[in-house]
């Protein structure tokens, strides 16, 4: 820091691609602070250090930071200062804060800069200062990249690139950077294994009418794939050459850049004579609206995932209270059942398995050491998903392990009502997620209950289980819900120290009708898996909700039973019996 | 324009205070274009002219512009260019567009400037060019200003000013401009008669710890009121001195300015050494949350307005089909019934009265010439309200004039369901209007129906019937719904050429409960007037909705009947009978 002439150093905790899962190489914050949660900002001055993280990680961070001298800053608590404010208290006016502009999106950079400026401080790009002190820093991964076969992808990469260029032109640009890893993967019909759960690979992309470039470590591409890319006139250049390339962009370039996905370093790496158009990435927008081809494959994938889930539920039902089962065994068992399905590629995230009070810890990661033993008492929350060549799944079921209390049944039924009400919603084109979010919450709100997370996130197609740009949550998101968008529908309720409830299906938006009053849209539920009838208090459901539930269960039975063995069919029949 | 060295002139159509109703003096757009609608932008170059207005006024504008050579620009139609775009087609790069910075809010100015800059044009303050050519231009009104008596206002102006200063300090400023007329009226407990319907007066205000100034034409303040203001250490200065005053602000001033309510001229009139804090006006925020004292008075006012409405409904019921009644007679009759109530000060807006197909014209202003005759056939939409010393009312009822068709009953009941569902909503503190808006629309959406206006606007307290900053509508509005906020709840449905339906009550947000899951809020319905039972199809209401409706009618009867004559009581009893 002294050599770089900065009085503080700021680590954003994100990588150059704004990834949810990062290669070890970019785990700067865990390396320097010891805190291993998925989100956090680390700031150090010449005298002290602090780490900001959110409520999911308050307990974990306190434990991991103990004895380090690093102060824990609890985000979104009224008494917690913002990093800029905290820095203002430690530094003098005119002091400079260093950070690595490569690991900060344009949007994050602007926010940081504005905050520092308000306090008389400035910001400066120092690059990654950890390089000097991180002995044995992991190298970037070199896993092989593979094609997402056209049989599953449905659209040729040349067609996707054409669509991207059309959107780029509509926005007055003639080229675009692809900087988020799933944007690159989608556009080029490629997948990788560089990080867990998300089938992406470390890369950048550049697309203009005359030039399509994939920036990636060349060792990751075998000669066959290289040949195919050449046929499609896609140049492969070294990942490290991306910054050299953008520095050489000619002054007649008009480059579309997504400020939430592109690093400040990349933005500043573009010559100032080049015009920039700031817009949500074309690839992000296009991949959010799944094609009919993709949706057909997702429906098939949901059958496979449903079969795996029914297998798991039946195994649990048969064995709980008889053999020793821990929460961690459930993590492994889910993977085991999914692995039997064709085209399965791995879990889409680390399953969340919470017995009773553990279910109320929303982002709990169970380990063999922390796993509780599951006995025939209480309720179990299981949130899991799979990556298949024909789609990505994400499902939560809350399972009764014994006769539930009246209050548990009431709580569960209110959550279920919200899930059903959102499933049945119909709405005009142009509706945004926060307008729909309330439909899933109203049954809870009317009983002074609520949940602290969003109701729905986009789901990728054999890609990231969390995908943008739209969402269904209380916070405003300008991206409207459009036909083909595949999202989760997952209201919940968490009673600290008692239990957690969540019911999650994946839904897809589709056209309903075009009438005098406009174009109307609706949702189709894609997930196929029974909802635990023992937890439902039927008198709390209205006629429409009960009808939906019985029809859903009938459909689950009809679609899954041909794929199950006799014992499983018996189990599923019981699980899907109509409620009258 | 040539003398001012501009190649185009832009008339925003608003006054220096961003008023909904403007004194004739500022009716620049109607004067120059002949178009008399309430919203529109007029732009003229040395060769041509155009007028932008929204769908409410397409027909009226086309008629009024006929033969003038002014091109009609239909706003929000895909083919319509923005003014900046249209200007770019007529002017040359580098050309300058003149406008009066006094009649453009800071926000509007920034939008205009950005648009022009994108097209290589610039903007310049020319002042009001119409002064030169408008012979006999009306002078600003000189109506007397009167006190809003403490008996109704509830809080002394000195206390309101203290509250404003507290908010100003929290936002890091030491003074604030008051530029919207209702902001000035509220802060100083004064009212006026300068424009129709809104009891405001042309003025500015300035508030700092040491200085409280009311800028107003001194002829409008009698010596008694002047004395009272002096007692409260409020200086009265001439309206015309406002710009001189702000130009003299000392450099240690930190002035809070509301960019949506303050003109660009006022902003630029402040010396550049003075620090500006852009924030929603303190007065706007404070007056939106009515005090308990005010709410008690509003409840009393609603009884008076309910008595007037029942009087009107009974008169209509008794006379329709028997004597000649036109839509315009309804406008007059409503005023007549309200005038009988104590503390009535006038209509709160020009009533919207629409028989059958006329009811589907959302912003229709009926005149004696255009008024249709009301016979005992069809359905009548009546939207009206009153100004009372103890509150402002706004109510819509849709009235059956003959046995309604099944479809009309179904349409009406779906609208009613939305109104009831929003009335019954409960929600956590922090909820914004667009999250609630869907509750009023869902019953319609589920039948592929919708309405094109907002669901709820703020309602003033013996002030503007349309008040900010919050709203309940599909568009995002960052201002959360807070206890004490009084709003309309007015879903509708409009079948072009057939009929219009709207049901509108005024509601107030109140505290429900503080529980483990946070602070919960709910609504109390304030309006007291029966909803036409003949239009309701009871089988379409769910149990909760039916229960709400019957309880509401019971309450209407209980609260109003002691204030009615025997004949009216008989009528109201029939109108409020429970539906079983």
Sign of the CA dihedral with B343 first, then B346, B352, and B356 last: positive
Q: Does B545 touch chain A (CB under 8 A)?
A: no
A448 interaction partners in chain B (CB closer than 8 Å)? 426, 512-513, 515, 517, 520
Q: What is the mean pLDDT of residues B417-436?
A: 97
The number of angstroms, rounded, from the C-alpha of B116 to the middle of its chain's C-alpha atoms is 30
Contact by Cβ (8 Å): B46, B7: yes
Show the tokens assigned to B110. 């920034």
Nearest-by-Cβ selection for B438 from A438, A476, A542: A438
Closest residue, chain A, to B479 (C-alpha): A476
Residue of A nearest to B435 (CA): A435
The predicted pLDDT at position B384 comes to 98
Given a cut of 90, whether residue A362 has pLDDT beyond it is no
Q: Are the beta carbons of B426 and A445 separated by less than 8 Å?
A: yes
Q: Please state, rounded to an integer, the average pLDDT across all residues of chain B.
A: 96
Structure confidence at residue A56 (pLDDT):
81
Least CB–CB distance from B520: residue in A448, A478, A542: A448
B interface mutation test: which of A446, A480, A500 has the most B CBs within 10 A?
A446
Provide the 10 A C-beta neighbour count for residue A81. 13
Residue B363 pLDDT greater than 90, yes or no = no
**A171 touches B: beta carbon within 8 Å:** no
Closest Cβ opposite residue B439 in set A442, A449, A513: A442
Question: Which residue among A446, A513, A520 sits closest to B426, beta carbon to beta carbon?
Answer: A446
Question: Tens digits of per-residue pLDDT, A487-535?
Answer: 999 999 999 999 999 999 999 999 999 998 999 999 999 999 999 999 9
Asked if A448's CB is within 8 angstroms of B426's CB, the reply is yes
The reply to whether B546 touches chain A by the CB within 8 Å rule is: no
DSSP conformation class of A111: H
Average pLDDT over residues B140-145: 96
Compute the CA torsion angle B43, B48, B52, B58 (nearest 10 deg).
150
Q: Give how far the C-alpha of residue B128 lies from the chain's centroid of Cα atoms, to the nearest Å.
A: 26
- Facing A476 at nearest CB: one of B448, B449, B476: B476
CA–CA separation, B436 and B491 (whole Å): 12
Number of H helices, E strands in chain A: 17, 28
Residue B246: its pLDDT value, please? 98
pLDDT of residue A364: 83
Calpha distance B580→B554 (Å, rounded) = 13
Residue A432 contacts B, CB cutoff 8 Å:
yes
- Dihedral sign computed on CA atoms, order A259, A264, A267, A272: positive
Considering only CB atoms, which chain B residues are within 8 Å of A423? none
Residue B197's pLDDT is 97
Q: What single-letter DSSP state applies at residue A11?
A: E
**Residue whose tokens read 């780490």:** A51
Q: What is the pLDDT of residue B1?
A: 92
Size of interface A-B (CB pairs under 8 A): 78
**E strands present in A163-312:** 175-178, 190-191, 204-208, 212-215, 234-237, 254-257, 275-278
* ipTM of the shown complex: 0.90
Closest by Cα among B105, B73, B83 to B280: B105
- What is the average per-residue pLDDT within A370-376? 96
Q: Is the pLDDT of residue A39 over 90?
A: no
Nearest to B445 among A426, A437, A542 (CB): A426
Residues 6 or more apart whose Cβ sits within 8 Å of residue B483? B289, B509, B510, B511, B521
Cα–Cα distance measured from residue B475 to residue B473, given in angstroms and rounded to the nearest whole number: 5
Nearest CB to B450: which of A435, A438, A518?
A518
Are the beta carbons of A435 and B438 separated by less than 8 Å?
Answer: yes
Contact at CB, B435 and A435, closer than 8 angstroms: yes
Report chain A's C-alpha Rg in angstroms: 25
Chain B nearest-CA distance from A476, in A, is: 7
**B168 Cα to chain A: minimum distance (Å):** 18
B431 touches chain A (CB under 8 A): yes
Q: Tell me if chain A has a CB within 8 Å of the CB of B542.
A: yes
A-proximal residues of B, 478-517, CB under 8 Å: 478, 495-496, 512-513, 515-517
User: Is a pLDDT exceeding 90 seen at residue A43?
Assistant: yes
What residues contact A47, with CB distance under 8 A and at least 6 apart?
Answer: A90
Rounded to an integer, the average pLDDT of A447-466 is 96
B428 contact A CB<8A: yes
* pLDDT bucket at B544, cuts 50 / 70 / 90: very high
Nearest to A284 by CA among A492, A452, A116, A470: A470
Tens of pLDDT, residues B197-238: 999 999 999 999 999 999 999 999 999 999 999 999 999 999
Min Cα separation B512/chain A (Å): 9
Whether chain A has a CB inside 8 Å of the CB on B520: the answer is: yes
Answer yes or no: do B427 and A434 touch at CB < 8 A.
Answer: no
Q: Could you read off the pLDDT of B364-405 as tens digits, one per residue?
A: 889 999 999 999 999 999 999 999 999 999 999 999 999 999
Residues in B touching A515 (Cβ below 8 Å): 448
Per-residue confidence (pLDDT) for residue A469, from 0 to 100: 97
Which residues of chain B have a CB within 8 Å of the CB of A542?
542
User: Where are the extended beta strands (E) located within B322-378?
Assistant: 344-347, 352-355
Does the pTM surpass 0.90? The reply is yes
3-state secondary structure A520-577: EEEEEECCCCCCCHHHCCHHHCCHHHHHHHHHHHHHHHHHHHHHCCHHHHHHHHHHCC
Which tens digits make up the pLDDT trace of A70-110?
999 999 888 899 999 999 999 999 999 999 999 999 999 99
Residues of A in contact with B474 (CB under 8 A): 430-431, 435
Strand order in the sheet with B518-525: B426-428, B518-525, B505-515, B486-489, B456-458, B467-472
Minimal C-alpha gap between A276 and chain B (Å): 13
Could you give the CA distance from residue B420 to residue B559 in angstroms, rounded to a whole number? 20
**Which is it for strands A175-178 and A254-257: parallel, antiparallel or unpaired?**
parallel
Which chain B residues contact residue A439 at CB under 8 A? 438, 442
CB contacts, 8 Å: B118 with chain A: none
Specify the pLDDT at position B38. 83
* pLDDT tens, residue by residue, A381-438: 999 999 999 999 999 999 999 999 999 999 999 999 999 999 999 999 999 999 999 9
Distance CA B470, CA B481 (A): 7
């Amino acid at each position: 820091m002294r050599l770089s002439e900065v009085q503080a150093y700021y680590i954003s905790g994100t990588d150059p691609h704004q990834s949810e899962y990062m290669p070890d190489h970019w785990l700067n914050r865990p390396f320097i602070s010891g805190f291993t949660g998925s989100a956090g900002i680390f700031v150090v001055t010449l005298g002290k250090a602090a780490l900001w993280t959110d409520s999911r990680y308050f307990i974990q961070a306190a434990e991991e930071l103990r004895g380090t001298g690093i102060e824990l800053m609890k985000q979104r608590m009224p008494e917690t200062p913002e990093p800029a404010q905290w820095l203002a208290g430690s530094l003098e006016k005119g002091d400079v804060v260093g950070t690595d502009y490569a690991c900060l999106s344009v949007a994050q950079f602007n926010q940081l800069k504005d905050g520092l400026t308000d306090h008389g401080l400035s910001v400066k790009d120092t690059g990654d200062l950890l390089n000097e002190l991180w002995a044995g820093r992991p190298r970037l991964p070199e896993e092989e990249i593979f094609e997402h076969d056209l049989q599953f992808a449905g659209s040729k990469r040349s067609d996707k690139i054409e669509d991207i260029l059309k959107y780029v032109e509509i926005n007055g640009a003639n080229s675009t950077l692809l900087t988020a890893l799933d944007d690159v993967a989608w556009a080029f019909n490629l997948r990788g294994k560089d990080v867990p759960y998300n089938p992406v690979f470390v890369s950048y992309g550049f697309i203009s009418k005359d030039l399509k470039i994939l920036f990636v470590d060349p060792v990751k591409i075998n000669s066959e794939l290289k040949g195919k890319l050449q046929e499609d006139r896609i140049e492969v250049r070294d990942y490290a050459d991306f910054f050299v390339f953008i520095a050489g962009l000619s002054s007649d370039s008009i480059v579309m850049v997504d400020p939430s996905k592109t690093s400040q370093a990349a933005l500043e790496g573009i010559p100032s004579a080049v015009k920039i158009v700031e817009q949500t990435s074309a690839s992000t927008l296009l991949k959010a609206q799944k094609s009919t081809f993709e949706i057909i494959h997702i429906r098939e994938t949901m059958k496979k995932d449903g079969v795996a889930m029914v297998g798991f539920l039946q195994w649990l039902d048969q064995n709980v209270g008889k053999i020793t089962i821990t929460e961690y065994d459930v993590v492994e068992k889910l993977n085991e059942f999914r692995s039997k399905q064709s085209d399965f590629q791995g879990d889409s995230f680390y399953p969340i398995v919470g017995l009773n009070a553990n279910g109320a810890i929303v982002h709990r990661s169970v380990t063999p050491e922390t796993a509780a033993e599951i006995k025939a008492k209480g309720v179990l929350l299981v949130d899991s998903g799979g990556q298949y060549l024909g789609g990505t799944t994400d499902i939560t079921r809350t399972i009764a392990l014994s006769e539930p209390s009246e209050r548990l049944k009431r709580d569960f039924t209110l959550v279920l009502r919200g899930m059903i009400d959102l499933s049945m919603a119909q709405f005009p084109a142009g509706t945004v997620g926060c307008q729909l979010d309330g439909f899933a919450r109203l049954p809870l709100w009317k009983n002074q209950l609520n949940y602290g997370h969003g109701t729905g996130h986009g789901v990728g197609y054999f890609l990231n289980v969390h995908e943008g740009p739209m969402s269904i949550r209380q916070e405003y998101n300008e991206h409207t819900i459009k036909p083909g968008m595949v999202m989760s529908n997952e209201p919940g309720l968490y009673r600290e120290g008692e239990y957690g409830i969540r019911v999650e299906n994946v839904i897809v938006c589709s056209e309903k009708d075009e009438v005098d009053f406009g174009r109307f849209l609706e949702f189709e539920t894609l997930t196929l898996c029974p909802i635990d009838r023992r937890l439902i208090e039927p008198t709390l459901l209205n006629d429409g909700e009960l009808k939906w539930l019985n029809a859903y269960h009938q459909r689950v039975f009809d679609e899954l039973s041909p794929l199950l063995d006799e014992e499983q069919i018996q189990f599923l029949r019981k699980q899907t019996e109509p409620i009258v």
